[in-house]
Amino acid sequence: MLELKIDRIRKQYDKVLAVNNISFNAQPGRILGLLGPNGAGKTTTIRMITYISVPDTGQILFGDKPVGPWSQQRMGYLPEERGLYKKMKVGEQLIYFAELKGIDRKEAKKRVKKWLERFGAEEWYPRKTNELSKGMQQKIQFITAVINDPDLLIMDEPFGGLDPINAELLQNVIMELKEDGKTIVFASHRMEQVEELCDDICLISRGEIIVNGVLRDIKRKAGKNTILIDFEGSDAFLDVLEKRQLARINNRSANRAELRLLGTTRPRDILQEAIRDTEDILRFELVEPSMREIFVTAVSEQEKELAAS
């Protein structure tokens, strides 16, 4: 299996610097989460990996060779903007995409049958794409990305349009591909799925990498400064905590909150404030930060640094 190596790539469009000298690796048998706000440079990076565009400087290696037309045949790409032929029958469409990847028609039919069976969708073969639901179309689009048995699979928001049952089915398939030793890059805004699926994280903002490494190491390094609290009674104490800059509220719902300690605030400071204003504390737990919190904190810190410079 082949490793993907991104080495100091840079890409500028007119006066817009989309990607600024970034480097990271994606390894076989692991899933890399490529994260970032809108306009961060994720799509530009993916376009360079897939050889749709090329970097101005730096290089991208797949194995030990620079990416090019040869590597496109070894990759599978599921874009965020889907691209199926609406009036074409599902079976013929999948065979067509397989043939574009250099697979002969007989073998293509076998692979299409296998994948439709894997998704419990054999009856879709003769149906036109526009007769399928959005979720069904999403699964067909995924099959087009893996029909060539790629060494590298790149997915941009693969769970869009899927209900929880089909999202779990797709997640299981992705984990099987990981176990088969595929190199997988997963771009998404869905932090809960990033935490479930990814081994490694690369967070891009304003074209630069601001967090990169093994997910469990990133979370451990961030420290246990997040508190989960369930309570009964008034939640007014949460407003007090923010007003006094003791904590930042990350998530807030009826009788539940996730908050991050600020400055020199201690967990007992939060507990004392909560006990004073609520009827009862049902849960008070100090935990590692969620990926969502790490994402928000890293981007916010970058914005503050830029504003101060």
Q: Which residues on adjacent β-strands are paired with residue 60?
A: 6
List C-alpha distances in Å: 75 to 61, 71, 152, 198, 215.
13, 6, 5, 19, 24
**Tens digit of pLDDT for each residue in 114-168?**
999 999 889 999 999 999 888 889 999 999 999 999 999 999 989 888 889 999 9
Mean pLDDT of 289-303: 85
Mean pLDDT of 260-271: 90
Per-residue model confidence (pLDDT) at position 299: 86
Compute how many other C-beta atoms are within 10 angstroms of the C-beta atom of residue 241: 22
Checking if the pLDDT of 224 tops 80, the result is no
How many alpha carbons fall within 13 Å on the CB side of residue 262? 12
Question: Going by C-beta distance under 8 Å and a sequence separation of 6 or more, which residues neighbour residue 273?
Answer: 237, 240, 241, 246
- Mean pLDDT, rounded, of the chain: 92
> Domains in the chain, please, with CATH?
4-219 (3.40.50.300), 224-287 (3.30.70)
Checking if the pLDDT of 76 tops 90, the result is yes
| Burial of 87: CB neighbours in 10 Å, binned 0-12, 13-18, 19+ | exposed
Of the two residues 191 and 171, the one the predictor is more confident about is 171
List C-alpha distances in Å: 152 to 90, 131, 182.
24, 31, 6
Per-residue model confidence (pLDDT) at position 260: 87
Per-residue model confidence (pLDDT) at position 26: 97
Checking if the pLDDT of 21 tops 80, the result is yes
**Tens digit of pLDDT for each residue in 236-248?**
899 999 999 999 8
Quote the percentage of the chain above a pLDDT of 70: 100
Per-residue model confidence (pLDDT) at position 263: 85
Mean pLDDT of 160-186: 93
pTM of the full predicted structure? 0.84
How many alpha carbons fall within 13 Å on the CB side of residue 228? 7
Per-residue model confidence (pLDDT) at position 300: 85
What band does 53 get if pLDDT is binned at 50, 70 and 90? very high
